[in-house]
Amino acid sequence: MATYIVRRLLVAVPIFFGITVIVFLLLALAPGDPVSAFIRPELRTNEAMRAAIIARYGLDQPLPIRYIHWLAEAVQGNLGYKAGGVGLPVLDTVQRGFVASMLLMGTALLIGIFVGIPLGVLSALRQYSKLDYALTGVAFLGISMPSFLLGLGGLYIFGLVIRIFPIGGMVTAGAPFSPFDLGAHLALPALILGVGYVAILMRYTRSSMLEVLGSLYVTTATAKGLPNRTVIARHAFRNALIPIITIIGLSLPELVGGAVIIETVFSWPGMGNMMVEAVAGRDFPMIMGLTLVVAIFVLMANLLTDVAYAVADPRVRYN
């Protein structure tokens, strides 16, 4: 098991460096001039000053050297400072966004898992029933419905027409913190982000469950005289879950992507919202910092998926 994890980690390392190189290159080649940010506007034509700053920050070095400098600082937690304003450290800001995003995505994921998987099992057990057809139709809508339009519609209907949810943000401004307040703000965006997820997990659980139910060892278990309940829970369901783990892992990047726009629709102060703001304001240190954090998150999620897969399916470990 330990060797397996180490091997997976080693595979993730080059991908991580690949991402950092791409991000660094893109932003190094970006139009705009980092030097000007350090000089007062009236002195911008002063060539000596320019040269001094370029030398001081190593901007005259070749790209590979600059990349190594940047990476060395980054791994020590120095992601630079937000452009404009008072220049807050990027890391602090990103950390706050990370917590908010995790809260939103985590809730959506849990909704997906705890609603989607049971519905998928139900759909498979009653294959070709009215319920199965209804769930299939709902899943089709859920998968093809763009989450951000659902978000706009949801915000309009539940936040503005019938005012049962707050219209955005994470907490009521000025009010003392309470879990209820947070929950009320969280409910609508998390539900909308979770809808597509419910649909996807339901479909995959259904087909995986149907496949397992048709297998010989399930027939054997039934033939042994085990009660139906035991066959389904112990023999079928546990094996049907194995591919679902992969689906959950593979869809995590899409969850992060979906969160970007949902966060903007609901002014949720997460990383997606920050990313959009940073791009609109061309705040490159922020863009790099956020990208790096998303990259680490996605790679860790992939790694966890692989490990979970190995735990669930012994065949993976020994190959």
When the beta carbons of 123 and 291 are compared against other proteins, the nearer one is: 291
Interface stretch with other proteins, choices 81-89, 172-180, 202-210, 281-289 (CB under 8 A): 281-289
User: Given the rule CB under 8 A, which of 26-34, 66-74, 93-101, 172-180 is the region that contacts other proteins?
Assistant: 26-34
Q: If you compute the radius of gyration of the chain from its CA atoms, what whole number of angstroms results?
A: 25
**How near is the Cβ of 212 to other proteins at its closest, in Å?**
20
Owner of token pair 């600059």: 66
3-state secondary structure 283-300: CHHHHHHHHHHHHHHHHH
Q: Which amino acid is at 228?
A: N
What x-and-dash track marks residues 149-188 binding other proteins by CB under 8 A? x--xx-xx---x------xx--------------------
Give the interface segment with other proteins, choosing from 29-37, 47-55, 174-182, 202-210 (CB under 8 A).
Answer: 29-37
Give the contact letters, 125-154, x = binds to other proteins (CB under 8 A), - = no: ---------------xx-xxxx-xx--xx-
| Of 25, 24, 45, the residue nearest 36 (C-alpha) | 45
> From CA 230, how far away is CA 222, in angstroms rounded?
9
For residue 73, give the nearest of 289, 274, 283 by alpha carbon. Answer: 289
- CA 295/CA 301 separation, integer angstroms: 10
Contact residue for other proteins among 294, 306, 309, 310 (CB under 8 A): 294
Distance, in Å, from the CA atom of 80 to the CA atom of 82, rounded to the nearest integer, reads: 7
**Is 84 among the residues that bind other proteins (CB under 8 A)?**
no
Q: What is the nearest approach in angstroms of other proteins to the Cβ of residue 128?
A: 14
Residues of span 259-278 touching other proteins by CB under 8 A: 260-261, 264, 275-276, 278
Is residue 77 a contact point for other proteins (CB under 8 A)? Answer: no
Q: How far is the CB of 109 from other proteins (least distance, A)?
A: 15
Cβ atoms < 10 Å from Cβ of 71: 15
Q: Is residue 191 at the binding interface for other proteins, with CB under 8 A as the rule?
A: no
Question: Does residue number 317 form part of the binding site for other proteins (CB under 8 A)?
Answer: no
Only one residue has tokens 């048709």, namely: 214
CA 222 from chain centre, in angstroms, equals: 41
